[in-house]
Amino acid sequence: MFETLILMLDATMRVSTPLILAALAGLYSERAGIVDIGLEGKILGSAFAAAAGAAVFGSAWIGLCLGILASVSLAMIHGFACITHRGDHIVSGVAINTIVAGLTVTLSMYWFGMGGQTPALSGDARFLDITFPFADALQDVPVIGAIYSNLLSGHNILVYLAFAMVPLTYWVVYKTRFGLRLRAVGENPHAVDTAGISVAFIRYRALIVCGILCGLAGAYLSTAHNAGFLKDMSAGKGYMALAALIFGKWRPVPVLLACLLFGFLDAVAVRMQGVEIPGIGQVPVQAIEVLPYVLTVLLLAGFIGKAVGPKAIGRPYVKERA
């Protein structure tokens, strides 16, 4: 029983990693007043760019850089539409998701001719698991050995980076001048402008951070969690990250807990495939796959109460003239 729990928690950490990175990306964006439903598109675009770069150059790090570059570029397009031209945030985000979904498949077929996939990655083209010191020696030690060797050790660097980003985000948002201005721009941009601070500049910086984190999430999917890019491999993780962001009420630690909860539900769904349930029999795979999304909706609808976002979120800012 304990070993099964450790395996479930280990799978939860792996599945939750892109959700954590994407949800924190959305936190920066929405704290600045920018609705970013385009998280899904940025994850998918960066996943393709990272896998393509890793396949061509044989380096996961080059792939990661290209993935971040692609994601930040999409974030800047979103910013150009929503900040500079004061366009509708939802429309811009949906447009990014739609364009990227088609563009990634088209480019992968044109460049690699593999039906919307990239070549399989191996060796230095992937982020490999890291084994902690003495992990093998402590593996047989009761309780502690299983936790240290099987749960804490054996993940790739992007998993550890995702969890490290949570306290870093808390410090940035609540303890730095940039974080203070970020929150102020999302609540009362007119007050920020009155203080002589550029609202657009702060929001663009927030979107750059958002793009970097989405780039990490996408690169993780294609160069660490999987060995290449697959069509629509983001599989709604951007939307689940938005749900986790709302579930956590735009605060880093609750957002982390929400991502872990959603990741655990996903791990349970995978674990239940092929399992015979007394009185029901074997549950269809399709029903198992939809379980995390259904539970996500139920949790959002019934357990978080009223989630109030930043006051200026989604509202175009028009500079007042003297």
Tokens 């980076």 belong to which residue? 161
pLDDT of residue 6: 81
User: Is residue 73 within 8 Å of 232, Cβ to Cβ?
Assistant: no
Answer yes or no: is 139 within a domain: yes
**Which CATH number goes with the domain that contains 294?**
1.10.3470
- pLDDT of 153 higher than 60: yes
Answer yes or no: is 310 within a domain: no
At 81, is the pLDDT very low, low, confident or very high (cuts 50, 70, 90)?
very high
pLDDT of residue 321: 57
Residues in the chain: 322
| Structural domain span for residue 160 | 2-300
- Give the CA-trace dihedral at 48, 49, 52, 54, to 10 degrees: -120
Q: What is the domain count for the chain?
A: 1
In angstroms, the Cα distances linking 210 to 26, 154, 215, 223, 267 are 6, 27, 8, 20, 26
pLDDT of residue 130: 85
Answer yes or no: is 306 within a domain: no
Answer yes or no: is 249 within a domain: yes
The per-residue pLDDT for range 197-245, each reduced to its tens digit, is 889 999 999 999 999 999 999 999 999 988 889 888 888 889 889 988 9
